[in-house]
Amino acid sequence: MTLWFAEADLFVDEAQYWFWGQNLDFGYYSKPPMIAWVIRAATELAGSDAPFWVRVPAPLLHGLTAFLIGALCARLADRTVAIWAVATYLTLPIVAVGSVLISTDTVMAPFLVGAFLAYFRVLRDGGAGWAFVAGMLFGLAMMGKYAGFYGLLGICLAAVFVKAARPGWANMSIVLGASVLFLGPNIWWNFANDLTTVEHTLDNVSWVRKSDPLSIDVGGLLLFLGGQLIAFGPILFIALIGAALTEKGWRSGWLVWLSLPVLLVVCAQALLAEAYGNWAFVAYLAGTALVVMWLLDRAPALLGLSVALNALLASFIALAPVFPDALAFGDRPSLMARYMGRDELSRSILDLADQEGVEAVVASNRDILADLFYTGRDQTIDIYSYDDGGRPDHFYEQNYAAPAELGAHIRIGKRDPGCGSQLADLSPEDGAYAGDSVLAFLCE
């Protein structure tokens, strides 16, 4: 397992998820709570908060997801399809990234595929029990990431357009009711905390808040689609579109409705504003089963070639955190630069605070704050976010805003805050903050 030898620091999101896990709750500023619970469980069992233990659930959860996709394919088709589906999923480049850096997609995935598997049992055999299990797993998937809602959207669309994919009103009511029940704690948390996570989600889908006329960004859409060719693999991505356009059977049709709408929604987001490459990840859960069935029936050699090409890229991704300096080309920074130097800067800041005899550090940059809390977890220095008024810009400003009467402290920023003298210029020459101005001021 390359994670053990990885030199990459925790990324800002990973450090934040770890910190959330130190204060278990039913929700957090920008995400539902499952990832914090998983990381807390892993680090408690290991007795260590080292980056390896923070990340180790990721490959294990993707392995479980692959197994569940195989189980789904064995019921949809046969054992051959199941084996190919497992191999295909495990070699997806987007899964390789999700196995070396823990994310909410990774935590959501096994619950969502488990929900598809249970729901298929409802379609095939009926039964309120399986309907409840499916709903429970849909709810838990959304407790991992709200994108789990795409699963519910998919089964509802399939029930409208695919006759054999209709579970009956009673079973559908149980599925939807159970999903709301298990998402309920996070719904309650949101109402108790000014709909914080909902507000952040609306910020991400920025066009819904715009008062100006919508603008169309064709370039952004093309860039997003190009990223999907890499994330899923070019052969598989083209096959997914081909399968969606040509498949006739109800089982394949069901998988189309579980995958294609996700891609269309995120493409619309990319066209209207901005979409990150992983936002379409949900499409590739059912999509993996769909393309494997489609390619094995029409072009099995292409499926084998796709697995081989994706495995090559996935191996490169897995080794990247182990040899980050090897990914620098000429004068260009390493492809792993954004994952390096975070710990080093945090230690410089904390050491400076110790030298000056102050007990607090204040910063406004979310990246810096995330790593300060993680790197300084065993120190007694208090860490605060600068509060600029208005709605908080991030979790740290929401929960750790600096008090008005703080006393002597070090403030980290790009310019003189007007409260004291400059102590040091900590601007790094390389790594995540290369090119940024990072200045330290003593405020009294």
Average pLDDT of the segment spanning 97-101? 94
pLDDT at 6 over 90: no
Return the structure tokens found at 126.
């009926």
Give the closest residue to 157 by CA, choosing from 15, 272, 260, 13. Answer: 260
Task: Classify 360 as helix, strand or coil.
Answer: strand
Q: Which of 176-180, 203-207, 431-435 has the weakest average pLDDT?
A: 203-207
Show me where the domains of the chain are located. Answer: 2-319, 341-443
Give the closest residue to 14 by CA, choosing from 37, 36, 43. Answer: 36
Residues 415-425: tens digit of each pLDDT: 877 777 889 99
Task: Classify 394 as helix, strand or coil.
Answer: coil
Task: Classify 205 as helix, strand or coil.
Answer: coil
pLDDT at 389 over 80: no
Q: Are strands 360-363 and 439-443 parallel, antiparallel or unpaired?
A: unpaired
Q: If pLDDT is split at 50, 70 and 90, which confidence band does 406 have?
A: confident
The share of the chain scoring above pLDDT 90, in percent, equals: 73
pLDDT at 202 over 90: no
pLDDT of residue 333: 56
Residues 236-255: tens digit of each pLDDT: 999 999 999 998 889 999 99
Separation in Å, CA 327 to CA 3, 243, 322 = 17, 36, 10
Task: Classify 440 as helix, strand or coil.
Answer: strand
Going 256 to 262 to 265 to 267, the CA torsion angle's sign is: negative
pTM confidence score: 0.93
- Identify the residue with better confidence: 432 or 202: 432
Read off the amino acid at residue 305.
Answer: L
Do the Cβ atoms of 359 and 382 come closer than 8 Å?
Answer: yes
